[in-house]
Amino acid sequence: MKFENPYAIFGREFACECGRTHRVAPREVLYAPAAALRAPEFCARAAKGRRAAAVMDLRTRRVAGEAVCDALSRAGWTVQVIVVPDPAPEHSPVCDDLTRDRIAAEMGPVDLAVSVGGGVMTDLVRWVTFERKIPFVSVATAASMNGYASASIAGTVKGVKCLIYAHAPDAVLADPQTLRDAPFELTASGLGDVLAKPISTADWRFNHMVLGDYYCPLSVGIVADIEPLYIERPEGIRARAPEAMEALFQACLLTGVAMNIADTSAPASGGEHMISHVLDMMCAVYGGEHDMHGRQVGVGTILSAELYRRVLAVESPVFVEPASSTDRAFWGPLHDEVEPHYQGKVERLRLAAERLAEGGTWDHVRRTLAPMLRRPETLRDCLAHAGAAYRAEDIGCTPDRLKRALLHGHEIRSRITILDLARLVGVMPAAADEVIEQWAS
């Protein structure tokens, strides 16, 4: 399936070669100057009535929130403005159950909500509107992550980070100038998040080839045409050049779409994301603060690419029996939360090892995955030249802390990633010190 341009996929329904019929949400995307002022027409197509709640934080209110509210009021909408306060000075709001409950309590009877902001605002509004069964429209203020078009929420419930299935916005609106003017670390974070695609895709393909998991080639190739616009021209991101910024924003949207149509985060979240999630979770156990999602994912992507290089270089692997449980001492109070995820995978790991040992399978895996991947040098140079985070110190952690995340990333999800595969063939944990030394210090 080919579309005439990257926006043409939105709102389409089609039979895919993967065997499923995909219905692509959001229905509409507008990337144009003064996009916020056109919110009323998109809201009118999404909602039955004319009562809207506009949800923003103190920063996004200035950037686009006021414009959205004015435009809606002028178009005859009743608008309730909800400004989510900062939880502490210098700390912007987070996406957790407490903030969700506060917004839900404040929000009056409305027909639709508009989120104005990046990942946190979008996810909070996604959450509240999903529970209320009303549509929402997303006004994006930064190309900071791939969640705009997505249906899932990265939220914290009772202190534990979860992926919660909800719904995609009806429309996504973005003003190129607003994205350009966003704090650069947000843009750099978006770059880290979409750079993960080759790794997560290879991880997914591995699960498909060896264990027969569902796999959709369209979800895999969805950013193939635009990827070179930022991977090969990172200076464009650094300079916030229009072409590079639009490619990045499209990639943020389309990697979200890939997850929606595949009904799993697998096409855009592999081993590199696990490293970032563990860094987040370590804060609950060891204190400290984590960095932005995409910045950590970018660093995790380089490490994962290096693991892939080492794994695929192994010619005749001797498969190692997977560990039967997770590291209780490392996880401390989170152990009971983590352990069931890993238990869901132990059998799959054994089965994978068995199948890989069958004649010819390993070579087939090597031949198939190698061309899907990017070299760690390419990824590092891309992040470095774009002015994004690429070393441990850039994401505010010591090489040792990053190494511990690398060593425990395989324990938190039931999906097999490069972090598992590296253990199956005996590359990890032995290579951890070297990989960190080589790529993150």
Cβ(390)–Cβ(302) below 8 Å: yes
If the CB atoms of residues 257 and 365 are measured against Zn ion, the closer one turns out to be: 257
Contact map string, positions 126 to 165, toward Zn ion, x by CB under 5 A = ----------------------------------------
If the CB atoms of residues 178 and 265 are measured against Zn ion, the closer one turns out to be: 265
Residues 218, 19: Cα–Cα separation, whole Å: 11
Task: Scan residues 381-420 and list those touching Zn ion (CB under 5 A).
Answer: none
Residue 218 binds Zn ion, judged by CB under 5 A: yes
If the CB atoms of residues 69 and 274 are measured against Zn ion, the closer one turns out to be: 274
3-state secondary structure the chain: CCCCCCCCCCCCEEECCCCCEEECCCCEEEECCCHHHHHHHHHHHHCCCCEEEEEEEHHHHHHHHHHHHHHHHHCCCEEEEEEECCCECCECCCCEHHHHHHHHHHCCCCCEEEEEECHHHHHHHHHHHHHHCCCEEEEECCCCCCCCCCCEEEEEECCEEEEEECCCCCEEEECHHHHHHCCHHHHHHHHHHHHCHHHHHHHHHHHHHHHCCCCCHHHHHCCCCCHHHHHCCHHHHHCCCHHHHHHHHHHHHHHHHHHHHHCCCHHHCCHHHHHHHHHHHHHHHHCCCCCCHHHHHHHHHHHHHHHHHHHHHCCCCCCCCCCCCCCHHHHHHHHHHHHHHHHHHHHHHHHHHHHHCCCCHHHHHHHHHHHHCCCHHHHHHHHHHHCCCCCCHHHCCCHHHHHHHHHHHHHCCCCCCHHHHHHHCCCCCCCHHHHHHHHCC
Residue 16 binds Zn ion, judged by CB under 5 A: yes
Residue 292 binds Zn ion, judged by CB under 5 A: no
Contact map string, positions 169 to 198, toward Zn ion, x by CB under 5 A = ------------------------x-----
Q: How far is the CB of 16 from Zn ion (least distance, A)?
A: 3
Query: Using CB under 5 A, which of the segments 14-22, 81-89, 166-174, 228-236 binds Zn ion?
Result: 14-22
Query: Using CB under 5 A, which of the segments 10-18, 198-206, 327-335, 384-392 binds Zn ion?
Result: 10-18
If the CB atoms of residues 15 and 98 are measured against Zn ion, the closer one turns out to be: 15
Q: How far is the CB of 234 from Zn ion (least distance, A)?
A: 18
Q: How far is the CB of 231 from Zn ion (least distance, A)?
A: 16
Query: Using CB under 5 A, which of the segments 13-21, 237-245, 355-363, 413-421 binds Zn ion?
Result: 13-21
Quick one: which of 216, 226, 231, 405 contacts Zn ion (CB under 5 A)? 216
If the CB atoms of residues 52 and 402 are measured against Zn ion, the closer one turns out to be: 402
Quick one: which of 3, 7, 11, 18 contacts Zn ion (CB under 5 A)? 18
If the CB atoms of residues 69 and 218 are measured against Zn ion, the closer one turns out to be: 218
Query: Using CB under 5 A, which of the segments 11-19, 58-66, 169-177, 235-243 binds Zn ion?
Result: 11-19
Query: Using CB under 5 A, which of the segments 8-16, 72-80, 309-317, 346-354 binds Zn ion?
Result: 8-16
Q: How far is the CB of 171 from Zn ion (least distance, A)?
A: 22
Residue 220 binds Zn ion, judged by CB under 5 A: no
If the CB atoms of residues 216 and 248 are measured against Zn ion, the closer one turns out to be: 216
Which residues of the chain form contacts with Zn ion (CB under 5 A)?
A: 16, 18, 193, 216, 218
